[in-house]
Structure 1
Amino acid sequence: MASLKEVRNRIVSVNSTQQITKAMKMVAAAKLRRAQDSILQMRPYAQKLGEMLLTVSSGSESAADSPLKAVRAVEKVLIVVVTSDRGLCGAFNTNIIKATIQLIESKYAAQAAKGNVEIFAIGKKGAESLIRRGFTVNTAYTDLFGRLSFVNAKNAAEEIMRDFSEGRYDKVDIVYNEFKNVATQIIHTDPYLPIVAENQSTKSKKTEVNYIFEPDEDEILAELIPKSLKIQLYRAVLESNASEQGARMTAMDKATENAQELLKDLRLVYNRTRQAAITKEILEIVGGAEALKN
């Protein structure tokens, strides 16, 4: 049985840990409110912009000439992986890493065997984990969450679009967590490039619409296509940020509850050990008294 001093030290240690986890839960809750407001405001705009792009570009000859719509034989693949910069958020990062590896093994195994699969990491945890597994990782934007803004996400999207347009990659996918609620995050594996127009079955169900372009079709599509892709990446980053704070809040809440249960058990052990020590001392005193009496 552990000594009283050892049990007392463990109680102090667990109590300090519980205070830290409780504080981290409160910080995550405050960040979650801001992140949730941001993504709820972004979603309608991003969805409508994406619908507009697909609808307009599907019937446009000018859009067909865009290098961002070029469909090539898939030889070189880039996977954009959005994780967090810090840990202590449960299985948030682990699930993304597993989904990324599963995507590569199931869809791009042939390209991976040739060394033609690269990772564009947004978030330090994903970069570190995938580097350890031997993947080629671009770590230029691993600190994006430390200064999260549309400008920084835009720069990352522009780099991806430039590499795709120059033929460095033939296919770009993005893996991220979509925020549903505090306890639930949904992993998404979405195609990013090339832009795929609406299929014929979908188009046939819709009424044909003649658009009047102002100032002109080429200029509008040249602006709309890159902007839509930038917004799509920024939305994925905002979704991941809100999901991270929700996951961390849940993880710290569970850690606080577990610390409380551990403190309860340790206090019980402490009281039992203390009672045993007192009983032993009483028996020694009584035994000594009886010995003197005899």
Structure 2
Amino acid sequence: MANLKEIRSRISSVSSTMQITGAMKMVSAAKLKKAQDAIIAMKPYAYKLKQLLEHLSSALGDENCYNPRSKEIKRVLLVPITSNRGLCGAFNANVIKKVLELTQNQYKNQEVQFYSLGKKGNDVLKKFDKTFKNNNEVFDKLSYSGAAALAEELMELYTSGTYDQIVLVYNSFKNAATQILTEEIFLPIQPIANAKASATDYLYEPSKKEIVEELIPRSLKTQLFKALRDSVAAEHGARMTAMHKATDNAQDLKNELILTYNKARQATITGEIIEIVGGSEALA
């Protein structure tokens, strides 16, 4: 059995860890509230805009340069959205695992490259020699302007023919304890499920050209910004949950150590009493 000094040292160490994880849980909870309010307010607008985008895209047909090209998909850009910090459970690992799974299965016959958003994803994926680019700064101060610049870069990569498909892989926020791993085709714009049944005769004001040049890029920027906000809210939820579990585990370990310490202390006291009694009987 470990001596009392070692056990006291371990109890002190676990107590310090518990204080840190408890503080991190509280910080994540505060950040989660703000991020949760932001994504909940944005989602209805983003979903409605995406629905409008799909209808417009189908109606514009070949006049929309963001529609699927007729040629076979040969080059795919996967955009994993992870975090810059760890200690958030399986949040980052799930995204990385999904990206590798897509590479080995769904896109095994295509040339695949990665555009990592977030340090943790890039740290792992850069080892596979498929990294096109990485951007860790987008999360330093997340804003619409930063997301818009990133979306413009992705749109240019598609319209120039560099890639035939661009796919976002990220954790979507459901609640503090649940994140939904999401695979979303960013470009090309996917046609609606039943184009004929949903066919609508649109009157275009301004012209179709202006809609393609203004409305559709703005919609794509909003979709990317929504995905980034979704990931940030999911990250704070995952970290809060992970720190809550870590704090509970530390408390359980501390209780076990205290029990072990008390047993060891009692055994030491009992041994000393036996020695005293034995010595007294020897003298008698």
Q: Do Structure 1 and Structure 2 share a fold, with TM-score over 0.5?
A: yes
The residue that corresponds to 1:183 in the other structure is 177
Q: Which amino acid aligns with 1:205?
A: A
Q: Which amino acid aligns with 2:58?
A: S
Quick check: 1:152 aligned with 2:146? yes
The residue that corresponds to 1:65 in the other structure is 63
Quick check: 1:135 aligned with 2:130? yes
For residues 215 and 172 of structure 1, what CA distance do their matches in structure 2 show?
29
User: Does the 8 Å contact 1:80/1:122 carry over to 2?
Assistant: yes
In structure 1, the gaps of 5 or more residues are none
Q: CA deviation at 1:108?
A: 1.1
For residues 216 and 168 of structure 1, what CA distance do their matches in structure 2 show?
28
Q: Deviations over 1:139-192 (max 9, x none)?
A: 1x2232121111111111111111111111111111111111111111111111
For residues 169 and 204 of structure 1, what CA distance do their matches in structure 2 show?
29
In structure 2, the gaps of 5 or more residues are none
Q: Percent identity?
A: 49
The SS at the match of 1:190 is strand
Q: CA deviation at 1:70?
A: 4.4
For residues 81 and 131 of structure 1, what CA distance do their matches in structure 2 show?
12
The residue that corresponds to 1:275 in the other structure is 266
Per the alignment, do residues 217 and 127 of structure 1 end up closer, same or farther by CA in structure 2, a change over 3 Å counting?
same
Q: CA deviation at 1:127?
A: 0.7
The residue that corresponds to 2:195 in the other structure is 203
User: Does the 8 Å contact 1:117/1:136 carry over to 2?
Assistant: no
The residue that corresponds to 2:93 in the other structure is 94
Per the alignment, do residues 133 and 272 of structure 1 end up closer, same or farther by CA in structure 2, a change over 3 Å counting?
farther
Q: How many residue pairs end up in the alignment?
A: 283
User: Does the 8 Å contact 1:85/1:125 carry over to 2?
Assistant: yes
Could you tell me the TM-score, scaled by structure 1's length? 0.92
Q: 2:166 aligns with which of 164, 172, 182?
A: 172
Per the alignment, do residues 217 and 110 of structure 1 end up closer, same or farther by CA in structure 2, a change over 3 Å counting?
closer
Q: CA deviation at 1:86?
A: 0.7
Could you tell me the TM-score, scaled by structure 2's length? 0.95
For residues 76 and 259 of structure 1, what CA distance do their matches in structure 2 show?
48
Quick check: 1:261 aligned with 2:260? no
Q: Deviations over 1:79-98 (max 9, x none)?
A: 01011111111111111111
The residue that corresponds to 1:105 in the other structure is 104
RMSD: 1.4
Q: Which amino acid aligns with 1:204?
A: K
Quick check: 1:76 aligned with 2:70? no
The SS at the match of 1:110 is coil
